[in-house]
Amino acid sequence: MKVEDVKVVGVLGAGTMGAGIAQVCAMAGFEVVLRDIEDRFLERGLNNIRKSLEKFAAKGKLSEDVETIMGRIKPTTKLEDLADVDLVIEAIIENMEVKKETFRQLNEIVKREDAIFASNTSTLSITEMAAVTRKPENFVGIHFMNPVPVMKGVEIVRGLLTSDETLEFAVEFTKKLGKEPVVCRDSPGFISNRILMPWINEGIWVLYEGVATKEEIDRGMRLFTNVPMGPLELADLIGLDICLAAIETLHRELGDKYRPCPLLKQMVQAGLLGRKTGRGFYDYTQK
């Protein structure tokens, strides 16, 4: 398939990543079917998309009005409504079995024989997901960064059976969205999280061991490395549950040097997940 053949993109999941993916696809002129399991998740996702578009409009960064772009996004709770899509991008819960079951169902639903299936997973195996689909050569990882509308980089992950044509499609598609693709092979954590998550985890270990306060850890890393956010601030932005899932995958696949800090596990158990719950390493309820 060529990028110019794509008219309708299906996006699975209306959370932070899925909503962002739906937004950039709609901004690029594609019709989008945005699916989540409950209306309340869709409503929240659509509200977040509208707010983001309004910010872009206020800065003069939209070539069309907000309503035109929003009109391209069709929300649904029915997986069957993805029957006529040309490309599916999955951005649901970071659980391999749930993802595989979703793709098994899509095998029976999506009509187009040469449709491309893609996953936005940050750490899980593209090859394993592709194995349950009818054409694993048409399966590829397209891993966007958060926040999707702002971040330029996208990881294009080649599974064991991903074809050259599918890889080229993914590269050209992300360029069509105004992104800059970086290609890698299927490996736990790929490039971004293979490097980023141990950095975040080590920051949590430094806090756990009492080496420094959270404020000094983050301030120090901003000053020492010129990054915009320290590891604990970034963990709060990403979501501590997402960080833990990624680190546990690295630990399971690559060994003990990736062992998650006990403090991270405790905070997830306590429901302190970062910005999305109002509290993580920092309190956002007063801001």
- Tell me the catalytic residues: 122, 143, 155, 193
**Residue 157 contacts residue 179 (beta carbons within 8 Å):** no
Alpha-carbon distance 237 to 45, whole Å? 17
Alpha-carbon distance 218 to 152, whole Å? 24
Annotated binding-site residue? 16:
yes
Annotated binding-site residue? 192:
no
> What phi, psi does 123 have (nearest 5°)?
-145, -20
Annotated binding-site residue? 18:
yes
Annotated binding-site residue? 276:
yes
Instruction: Provide the phi-psi class of 62: left if phi over 0, else alpha when psi is between -120 and 50, else beta.
Output: beta
Alpha-carbon distance 46 to 218, whole Å? 32
Annotated binding-site residue? 249:
no
The three-state secondary structure class of 141 is strand
Annotated binding-site residue? 122:
yes
Annotated binding-site residue? 15:
yes
Annotated binding-site residue? 151:
no
Q: Which residues pair with 156 in a beta bridge?
A: 142, 183
Number of CB atoms found within 10 A of residue 101's CB: 12
Annotated binding-site residue? 36:
yes
Q: In the block, which residue shows the tokens 């980089």? A: 153
Question: β-strand 180-185 against 8-12: which pairing, if any?
Answer: unpaired
Annotated binding-site residue? 129:
no
Q: Which residues pair with 119 in a beta bridge?
A: 90, 141
Q: Point out the annotated binding site.
A: 13-18, 36, 94, 99, 122, 146, 276
What residue numbers does the annotated binding site for NAD(+) cover?
A: 13-18, 36, 94, 99, 122, 146, 276
